[in-house]
Structure formats: structure tokens, C-alpha cells
């Protein structure tokens, strides 16, 4: 049975025409669609693939409750993109030096800054970033969920602001159809978001066990509005989402500094930057009711709203404008979506394959990023073709440099 046929039976609506979907993902979607807290149907995006707890590429409306594992442990993970004043012919023949400049300013993987970033030292939009950082710090001191988390390295929270992380997080230089140079990066709320998410998932599981709630997947346990645990989580969730957005802004600041150093002038301002989450939850109105909308690997695509849909290390990415499709809860995909798991990708491909698939891109081409090879992802053009009633393409981007942790 195709997913299109399956969705007529289950409480699902999909935008997956022409896209391969494995049955594990289908069954996971069915488990979500049968939850008693669901406030409508589950919307399935074309980049859908198996996730922990909830399926990546799903939009889940819930009434008076929220599923922490559906949001996930990289709370507020998302994208930021900015068009610069540079043209393709402004770039040097080799981008290796520029890549090194950026890597010197933005810690990747498990690394962090030795001290909190102070944007005032370098100008650009420093004052606004400093004020945003101060507000985050003050709110962090009052987070009630930290009482449940217990012992924690609080200094790490501020030192990880402005850092990339690993996995599928990246910083890229891209060219659009007019040969304008863009900066695009992907990251989230780092270790603190993970810690808040894991704590909330644990609380939800414990409550489900105490109530003897029957769940096909214990990760689908939820927190009910009005409970202490719900309030703790929502406060932490909103803070972590803001932390993630600020983290991306600080990295963009650092990349623009590296570009200024490389070209001897400022090449962009923050005006016009697109900064969007794709792992998050928010209260929204749909079909006449206020619901919690959890986008697990999905981007808000309200009518006229700009968003970012990245491909992979060797494929195109897109700046899009939402069409406000209500059946999709005004959402679109958050990327191409994985076709192979990380382990399967490492078994299926070689370093020679990685070299070939990332030809022309200044990037790592070693074992450490083999699981991020473009072939491990779905074809981005097929994914885009499946969601033409969700978004329209504003710019098509092709990366020329990619930094991964």
C-alpha cells in the first residue's frame, strides 16, 4: 500500500508523491496519528524519515498537551541564511583560506569558546546581539526545569553560544541563480537544549508509567497542560528555542567577520537574514482552534513567509516563500531528508564516492563526514516537486564551501 492510500485510512495527510518512504516510518506515523491528544491529522512532509519518538518530517497538532520527544533533543534546531554583496567572481580560486578563517572563529563538533562571545569587540550588529544574550542569561537563571536536571555545567551554556556542533550541522557559502554569494548555516541549541529535552522526555515517561498509559512507543508520552512538569518544560522549551536562534545569529556574525577579514570590507548586514526553526513547538490557530503545533523536521510556511530548505553537501538548497496551506498546518519540509541511516551510509559508500559527490565544493572529504555524503539523502528536486502547493521557490542555491563538525 502506498502512503497516499494509507493516509486515506489513517489520520494522516501527506505531501510525498514520488518520494520513497520506508514502512518503519509509516508505522511510526500511524502510532502518532492514533494518540488521544491529537487535535487533527498529522501532516507528513516529503523529507519524512524514521526518527526517535516521532517521525522526522511530521507536523503534529495536539490539544492541551505536548510530546517532548516529538520536539526532540535539539530544541530549536534550524537554519539562517543571508545574501551578501559579493558575486561569484569576487571569490578566490581556492576557498581553503576562507574556510580556515571561519573555522578559527566558529568552534565545531564538541568544541566551544574559551569564554563567552562578546560581539561588541567586533562591531557589525554587536549591540543587538549583546542585549539578546543578556536577556537569555537572565531567563536561564530562572528556569525551573534546572531543578529537575540537577548538577550541570552552567558555564558550558554561555561558551557554546556561537558554536556549530556536529552531525548534519553546517556552515556554507552558496551561489544563487544570479551568482550572488549567500551564507547559510544549520545548528540548534547545543548541549543545553539536549539536556532540557532529555529531562522532559524522562518526566513524560514517568507520568505515563504512573498512569499506566498504554503506548506503542514510550517516547510518545506527553505532558498535560496545567501540570508542574508541563510548565517546567514549556518555559525551558521557549528559552531553548530562543537560545538556538541566538546561537545561529552569533555564528552568522562570526562568518561575516571572517568575510570582512578576507575581503577587506563589510560585505553584508543582518537586515534580510532569514532565521527559522525546524525542530520546535508553538501555540497556533488552525481550523478554528488553538493547538500546540510541533514541527519535527518541518518549517513554518505561512502565506508569504520566507523559509530555508537545504539539500546536502553536494546538492542544491532553496530559499522558499510559504503558500499558507492549512492542511499542512502552513508548513513545508526542512530539507531533503535522509535516505540511509548514518551506519548504512558508511557501509554503502567510500571516500572516493564522497570525493566525487562533493566535487567542486571546498569541504572535508574524510571518514568523519562520510555519513553525510549526498547519496545518503533523498533527491532534493524530488522533495521540492512534492510540495509545490506548500511553497514557491524564491532562490536556488548551490554551495561552493561547506564546513561540518
For the annotated binding site for Mn(2+), the residues are 74, 169, 186, 278
What whole-number distance in Å separates Cα of residue 85 and Cα of residue 208? 53
Q: Which residues are catalytic?
A: 334
Q: How many CB atoms lie within 10 A of CB 321?
A: 18
Beta bridge partners of 170: 186, 404
Query: What is each CA distance from 174 to 88, 274, 298, 299, 319, in whole angstroms?
Result: 9, 15, 22, 20, 12
For the annotated binding site for GMP, the residues are 168-172, 278-279, 310-313, 317, 334-337, 404
What whole-number distance in Å separates Cα of residue 228 and Cα of residue 144? 10
Placement of cell 511510526 in the chain: 28
**Which residue, 44, 92, 43, 36, is CA-closest to 67?**
36
Query: Rounded to a whole number, what is the largest CA-CA distance in the chain?
Result: 64
Cell numbers found for residue 364: 572535508
Query: What is each CA distance from 88 to 80, 204, 262, 263, in whole angstroms?
Result: 20, 50, 14, 13
Q: Sign of torsion, CA 174 177 181 186?
A: negative
For the annotated binding site, the residues are 74, 168-172, 186, 278-279, 310-313, 317, 334-337, 404
Placement of cell 571518514 in the chain: 367
Amino acid at each position: 500500500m502506498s502512503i497516499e492510500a494509507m493516509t486515506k485510512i489513517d489520520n494522516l495527510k501527506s505531501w510525498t508523491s514520488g518520494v520513497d518512504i520506508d514502512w518503519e516510518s509509516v508505522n511510526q506515523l500511524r502510532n502518532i496519528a492514533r494518540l488521544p491528544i491529537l487535535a487533527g491529522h498529522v501532516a507528513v512532509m516529503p523529507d519524512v524519515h524514521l526518527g526517535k519518538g516521532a517521525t522526522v518530517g511530521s507536523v503534529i497538532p495536539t490539544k492541551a498537551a505536548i510530546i517532548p520527544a516529538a520536539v526532540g533533543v535539539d530544541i530549536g534546531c534550524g537554519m539562517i541564511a543571508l545574501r551578501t554583496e559579493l558575486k561569484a567572481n569576487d571569490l578566490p580560486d581556492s576557498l581553503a583560506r576562507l574556510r580556515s578563517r571561519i573555522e578559527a572563529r566558529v568552534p565545531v563538533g564538541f568544541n566551544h569558546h574559551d569564554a563567552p562571545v562578546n560581539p561588541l569587540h567586533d562591531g557589525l550588529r554587536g549591540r543587538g546581539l549583546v542585549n539578546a544574550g543578556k536577556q537569555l542569561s537572565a531567563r536561564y537563571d530562572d528556569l525551573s526545569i534546572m531543578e529537575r536536571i540537577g548538577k550541570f555545567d552552567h558555564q558550558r551554556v554561555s561558551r557554546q553560544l556561537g558554536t556549530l556542533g556536529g552531525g548534519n550541522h553546517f556552515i556554507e557559502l552558496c551561489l544563487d541563480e544570479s551568482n550572488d554569494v549567500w551564507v547559510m548555516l544549520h545548528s540548534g541549541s547545543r548541549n543545553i537544549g539536549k539536556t532540557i529535552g532529555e529531562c522532559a522526555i524522562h518526566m513524560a515517561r514517568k507520568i505515563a508509567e504512573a498512569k499506566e498509559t498504554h503506548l506503542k512507543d514510550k517516547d510518545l508520552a506527553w505532558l498535560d497542560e496545567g501540570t508542574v512538569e508541563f510548565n517546567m518544560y514549556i518555559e525551558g522549551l521557549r528559552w531553548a528555542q530562543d537560545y538556538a536562534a541566538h546561537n545561529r545569529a552569533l555564528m552568522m556574525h562570526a562568518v561575516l567577520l571572517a568575510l570582512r577579514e578576507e575581503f577587506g570590507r563589510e560585505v553584508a548586514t543582518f537586515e534580510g537574514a532569514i532565521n527559522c526553526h525546524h525542530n520546535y513547538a508553538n501555540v497556533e490557530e488552525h481550523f478554528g482552534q488553538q493547538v500546540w503545533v510541533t514541527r519535527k523536521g518541518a518549517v513554518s510556511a505561512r502565506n508569504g513567509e520566507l523559509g530555508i530548505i537545504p539539500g546536502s553537501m553536494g546538492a542544491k538548497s532553496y530559499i522558499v516563500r510559504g503558500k499558507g496551506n492549512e492542511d499542512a498546518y502552513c508548513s513545508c519540509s526542512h530539507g531533503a531528508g535522509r535516505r540511509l541511516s548514518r551506519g548504512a551510509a558508511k557501509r554503502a559508500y567510500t571516500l572516493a564516492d564522497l570525493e566525487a559527490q562533493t566535487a567542486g565544493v571546498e569541504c572535508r572529504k574524510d571518514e568523519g563526514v562520510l555519513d553525510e555524503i549526498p547519496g545518503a539523502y533523498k533527491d532534493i528536486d524530488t522533495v521540492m516537486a512534492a510540495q509545490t502547493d506548500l511553497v514557491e521557490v524564491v532562490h536556488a542555491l548551490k554551495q561552493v564551501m561547506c564546513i561540518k563538525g
